[in-house]
Amino acid sequence: MIETHKQPETAVLVALVTQKQTADQTKEYLDELAFLAETSGVITKKTFTQKLDRADTRTFVGKGKLEEIQLYIADNPVDTIIFDDDLTPAQVRNLEAEFKEIKVLDRSLLILNIFSMRAQTAQSRVQVELAQYQYMYPRLTRMWTHLSRQKGGVGMRGPGEKELETDRRIVQDRIAFLKEKLAKIDKQSQTRRKERDRLVRVALVGYTNVGKSTLMRTMAKADVFAENKLFATVDSTVRKVVLGNIPFLLTDTVGFIRKLPTTLIESFKSTLDEVREADILLHVVDVSHSSFEEHIDVVQATLADIKAADKPTILVFNKIDAFVPKEEWLPEPVHEISGDENEPVAAVAPPSAAEQKQTALAYLKRTYLTRQSDHVVFISAQNRENLDELRETLFKLVKEKHYTIYPNWTFIPLGDAYEEDAAPLG
């Protein structure tokens, strides 16, 4: 018997270059969109960009670019066309009319699909389903007729497969039901978190795929899922960790991303409460990423949105093993000055790659100490590099907070104490 394997879905990606988004930024955002598509199991065949002052209200791109995409697809059939911005209901309706049987997705729907794939607990599944319905509701006319003729694939998970729920009232009822169910789950979560108030709470936050779960696994000495894909972690993971003789709770939370759908932030209130109610934040940054500075801004903006930006924070620059410094972070070349003005000026031998890296990291540390954080640490969670410095910095903050809970606690210096293995918590 011959086994047949389902062919992976294929897609073309579309983005705009605007006054607010340069060509370089658009290229990077398309790379991220391709990574999101890959995480959903979709292979990107080609990307298209167009320079416009603003998106076309009818079809997102202009008529000429639309024809260019159609000509490409005519010769290179694909399953899906994905836009790197949210589409209005009218844009989706018009694009579906133009592209016929090809699925039309936007960035938010793609992210919602990934969350649906990743959700493991009852709580996260309810959160994702609610976010999907809330996102689809204003697009109901096209979404349900569109999904009813499809046989699955990216964007088809969750509520989209229920062909009978084509009535707006039924969808409203489903949203109300999910909200009620989530409210009960939130109440249970609040009770569990109150039971943990006896311990200092530390939350790992950061852009998606920066190594939070790897750091969690390293610090907690426990099995925590980590994968080189976006949103590998959707469900919060809480572990009890001991530094010195001080126990505290370490939580790995869902990663943030540029243009995170508002419905997800609203639905994941309970999960994000782990961040809001934390005593200390470990803001993990992938320093090897060319746009790590923008990622920092995205995370800080999201923290501000959920009212968690004013907490004691350690800025943890991760992946220094893969870090490549930019030229502007390095000092100007030094030249030897000869006593004889007729002799040519000789350049001093350039620093080694290792010296350049250390110089650049020192520059970044000075920059971010003065700009954003009182505590900056550079590590490689994968290679366990500089973890002692992170533990010492974290120990000081945990100790300070722990003392407010247990003022008579007898502290053991970190270097003299045995660190216990972590224990999972419900």
Residue 414: inside a domain, yes or no?
Answer: yes
Asked whether residue 201 falls in the same domain as residue 176, the answer is no
- The confidence score (pLDDT) of residue 350 equals 65
> Known binder of ligand: residue 81?
no
207 appears as a binding residue in the annotation: yes
- What lies within 8 Å, CB to CB, of 59 at 6+ separation is 66, 91, 94, 95, 98
Average confidence (pLDDT) per 10 residues, the chain, 426 residues: 63 95 93 92 96 95 96 95 93 91 91 83 85 82 45 48 58 90 81 72 93 88 52 67 89 85 75 87 94 92 90 94 76 55 58 78 78 84 93 94 81 53 44
Q: Is residue 79 part of a domain?
A: yes
DSSP 308: -
Is 20 assigned to a binding site? Answer: no
Whether residue 79 is found in the same domain as residue 171: no
Known binding residue 213? Answer is: yes
**413 φ, ψ (degrees, to nearest 5):** -55, 145
The CATH number of the domain where 27 resides is what?
3.40.50.11060
Q: Is residue 208 part of a domain?
A: yes
- Together in a domain, 32 and 126: no
Residues 6+ apart with CB under 8 A from 191: none
354 is known to lie in a ligand binding site: no
Residues 128 and 265 in one domain: no
pLDDT of residue 23: 94
365 burial via Cβ count (<10 Å: 0-12, 13-18, 19+):
middle
Could you say which of 111, 139, 164 is where a domain stops? Answer: 111
Same domain, 296 and 208: yes
Q: What is the 8-class DSSP label of residue 199?
A: S
92 and 35, same domain (yes or no): yes
Domain range for 320 is 196-424
Tell whether residue 252 is among the known ligand binding residues: yes
Looking at the structure, tell me whether residues 53 and 141 fall in a common domain.
Answer: no
Confirm whether residue 245 is marked as ligand binding: no
Domain limit, last residue, from 111, 146, 161: 111
Q: Is 381 annotated as a binding residue?
A: yes
Same domain, 65 and 212: no
131 is in an annotated binding site: no
Number of domains in the chain: 3
Cα distance between residue 289 and residue 91, in whole Å: 33
Judge if 238 and 341 occupy the same domain.
Answer: yes
**337 marked ligand binding residue:** no
* 319 annotated among ligand-binding-site residues: yes
Residues 169 and 55 in one domain: no
Residue 153 is assigned to a ligand binding site: no
Domain endpoint, select from 147, 181, 215: 181
Any known ligand binding at 421? Answer: no
Q: In this structure, are 175 and 217 located in the same domain?
A: no
How much is the pLDDT for 149? 42
Same domain, residue pair 35 and 85: yes
Question: Which CATH number is 395's domain given?
Answer: 3.40.50.300
- Annotated binding residue 116: no
- 380 a known binding residue? yes
Question: Do the annotations mark residue 271 as ligand-binding?
Answer: no
What tokens were used for 413?
A: 């210096």
Residue 231 labeled ligand binder: yes
User: Quick check: 73 and 12 in contact, CB under 8 A?
Assistant: yes
